[in-house]
Amino acid sequence: MSVPLSSTSEQLPLAARLPEDRSQEPSEAFLQALADASAELESATPEEIIRWAVGMYGQKLTMATAFGPEGCLILSMLSQVDKGIYVFNLETGYQFQETLDTRDNIAAKYGITVDYQSHEQTVGEYEAEHGGPLYRTNPNQCCFDRKVKVLHRVTKGFNAWMSGIRRDQSPHRANTPIVGWDKKFKLVKISPLANWKKNDVWKRIVEEGVPYNPLHDKGYPSIGCWPCTKAVGLGEDERAGRWSGTAKTECGLHLLDTNGSDDS
Ligand code: SF4
């Protein structure tokens, strides 16, 4: 379904009509339209879901990726649908070089150059202001400043965003709908791989030669910033290496954001 940018609000399908004033909660009818779309897309392929999202939201759709396997796979699919969708990476200044290299490999293969979006302060300025690296003393604040706030800033002006989260990644993500309302960012959130398993993702990556972060071959199933990511042992949870040794399990981008549910 293609939605011309010139459409008036009344002409748009209900699932595309966001509140004009984003400080207002969306209507029950709108939330129901998203729930209906999500239920309908439950049996669709990720490619069909991406096509639906592009058709529904056009250039008002964006995507954030940390170049996890799911993000890389979605980018390979998106390149077949619309290379013009704005995709960005939250470049905290603490990412592994291998992650940054993956961005270049994706661009070379699929012609999608993921834009870097960062906090206004460099790592040096930020650490100087806080008397050292906050990831050691207050990782929640560090993630909030260098990821969550940046995502808020970048997504202003968009109506929907896509993420690579899967339900089986963690209990926080178990109820992720294919399409839902992201209360935190006031956006429709589309998760084309929500009902895929880890093996489904890797099978497709290997079959199609999708570029991925080489750290996955060195014991890092989930990769974030280098100070907060460790390799995990055999049989450990796939997110066990993130903020290892602390109670923190999420950076805050995907927590409590979609009507009670939650690639970074
Ligand atoms: S993952 Fe660690 S280094 Fe990266 S933003 Fe969060 S606390 Fe800071």
Mutate to test the pocket of ligand 1, among 146, 242, 250, 255 (most ligand atoms within 8 A of CB): 146
pLDDT band at 252; cut points 50, 70, 90: low
- Please indicate, yes or no, if residue 55 is contained in any of the structural domains: yes
Structure tokens at 68: 């996890």
Report how far ligand 1's centroid is from the alpha carbon of 136 (Å): 9
- Please indicate, yes or no, if residue 2 is contained in any of the structural domains: no
Q: How far apart are CA 29 and CA 52, in angstroms?
A: 19
CA 162 to chain centre: 6
Mutate to test the pocket of ligand 1, among 90, 96, 147 (most ligand atoms within 8 A of CB): 147
Closest-lying ligand 1 atom to the alpha carbon of residue 140 = 7
Q: How far apart are CA 145 and CA 121, in angstroms?
A: 10
Q: Residues 17-56, buried b or exposed e (16+ Cβ, 10 A)?
A: bbeeeeeeebeeebbebbbebbeebeeeebeebbbbbbbb
Percentage of the chain modeled with pLDDT above 70: 84
Contact 65, 75 (CB under 8 A): yes
Q: How far apart are CA 48 and CA 77, in angstroms?
A: 10
Q: Are strands 187-190 and 179-182 parallel, antiparallel or unpaired?
A: antiparallel
pLDDT at 182 over 90: yes
3-state secondary structure 184-245: CCCEEEECCCCCCCHHHHHHHHHHHCCCCCHHHHHCCCCCCEHHHECCCCCCCCCCCCECCC
133-135-140 Cα angle (round to 5): 135
Per-residue confidence (pLDDT) for residue 254, from 0 to 100: 64
Contact 179, 165 (CB under 8 A): no
**Structure confidence by residue, pLDDT tens digits, 50-68:** 999 999 999 999 999 999 9
Ligand 1 within 6 A of CB of 225: yes
Alpha-helical runs (H) found in the chain: 28-41, 46-57, 69-81, 97-110, 123-129, 134-137, 139-143, 149-155, 198-208
Mean pLDDT for the stretch of residues 19-30: 86
- Please indicate, yes or no, if residue 122 is contained in any of the structural domains: yes
Report how far ligand 1's centroid is from the alpha carbon of 214 (Å): 20
- Please indicate, yes or no, if residue 11 is contained in any of the structural domains: no
Per-residue confidence (pLDDT) for residue 5, from 0 to 100: 46
Mean pLDDT for the stretch of residues 100-127: 97
- Please indicate, yes or no, if residue 54 is contained in any of the structural domains: yes
Give yes or no: 251 in active site.
yes
Ligand 1 within 6 A of CB of 50: no
- Please indicate, yes or no, if residue 215 is contained in any of the structural domains: yes
Q: How far apart are CA 38 and CA 227, in angstroms?
A: 36
**Structure confidence by residue, pLDDT tens digits, 35-49:** 999 999 999 999 999
Structure tokens at 202: 């890797």
Q: What is the mean pLDDT of the chain?
A: 88
Ligand 1 within 6 A of CB of 94: yes
Percentage of the chain modeled with pLDDT above 90: 72
Count the domains in the chain: 1
Q: How far apart are CA 209 and CA 211, in angstroms?
A: 6
Per-residue confidence (pLDDT) for residue 2, from 0 to 100: 47
Q: How far apart are CA 22 and CA 156, in angstroms?
A: 10
Between these two residues, 20 and 104, which has the higher pLDDT value?
Answer: 104
- Please indicate, yes or no, if residue 56 is contained in any of the structural domains: yes
Report how far ligand 1's centroid is from the alpha carbon of 142 (Å): 6
Per-residue confidence (pLDDT) for residue 255, from 0 to 100: 58
| Most confidently predicted of 115-119, 229-233, 241-245 | 115-119
Ligand 1 within 6 A of CB of 119: no
Would you say how long the chain is, in residues?
264
Per-residue confidence (pLDDT) for residue 128, from 0 to 100: 97
Ligand 1 within 6 A of CB of 253: no
**Structure confidence by residue, pLDDT tens digits, 119-140:** 999 999 999 999 999 999 999 9
> 10 Å Cβ neighbour count for 1?
10
Report how far ligand 1's centroid is from the alpha carbon of 143 (Å): 5
pLDDT at 237 over 90: no
Report how far ligand 1's centroid is from the alpha carbon of 33 (Å): 36
Q: Which neighbouring-strand residues pair with 194?
A: none
Residue 125 domain boundaries: 24-228
- Please indicate, yes or no, if residue 262 is contained in any of the structural domains: no
Mutate to test the pocket of ligand 1, among 94, 121, 126 (most ligand atoms within 8 A of CB): 94
Per-residue confidence (pLDDT) for residue 259, from 0 to 100: 33
30-34, 72-76, 229-233, 245-249: least confident range = 245-249
128: CATH: 3.40.50.620
